[in-house]
Amino acid sequence: MRVVILGSGRGSNAEAILLAQQQQRLGAARVVRILSDQPGAGILALGPRFGVEALFVDPAPFRTKLEGEGEARFIAAVQAAEPDLVVLAGFMRVLKPGFLGAFAGRIINLHPSLLPSFPGLDGIGQAFRRGVKVTGCTVHAVTAEVDGGPILDQAVVRIEEGDTLEAVAAKVHAAEHALLPAVIARLSQRTRE
């Protein structure tokens, strides 16, 4: 199962996927390309470290969505890698029908809350400020509804009395690093059946 990862940030989840692959915990999945809309993103530094092609793709002209020429460039860069699965690991742009249609049924997203609670930006901060006692992370199939596609799996994190936002964030990220590679491994077994 050929996997393309899209991300905008430090890439700790992409790193968790690549470490799982190195340790043969990624089933039949293999990361073939990493793409970022941010030229300086930490996620791109994983390429040389793990021997995977990692490229910046210009997302212009929009700031928060992927549409128009930027969308066309991303579609071409993903298509060139012939993916069976496109993984959004901290890709901070809203996808539009062009991209969604090109890879229909093959895109999954990681979100740092127990959806449908706290969709959108800053899922961890939203949960923390609301004072919930449990939060976590979700991997879901991507549809046109932002953070609204079918849920594939979730992991739960308890917020203890006295936890700081930073402490909760660390717990959620640790949960993400275990959940996302496990879901990808499971999907790769399904593809083989």
| Residues of this chain that bind ligand GAR (CB under 6 A) | 7, 9-14, 43, 89-90, 110-112, 123, 173, 176
Q: Which is closer to ligand GAR, CB of 87 or CB of 185?
A: 87
- Cβ 92 to ligand GAR shortest distance, Å: 6
Q: Return the SS3 of 67.
A: coil
Q: What's the DSSP call for residue 150?
A: P
Least distance CB 189 / ligand GAR (angstroms):
24
Q: Which is nearer to ligand GAR, 173 or 186 (CB)?
A: 173
Which residues are annotated as catalytic? 111
**Nearer to ligand GAR (CB atom), residue 44 or residue 77:** 44
Min dist CB 45 to ligand GAR, Å, is 12
Q: Distance (Å, rounded) from C-alpha 66 to C-alpha 101?
A: 13
Phi, psi of 45 (to 5 degrees): -70, -15
Residue nearest ligand GAR, CB atom distance:
90
Helix axes 12-22, 165-192, angle to 10 degrees: 40
Joined tokens for residue 4: 């393309």
Longest dimension (CA), the chain: 49
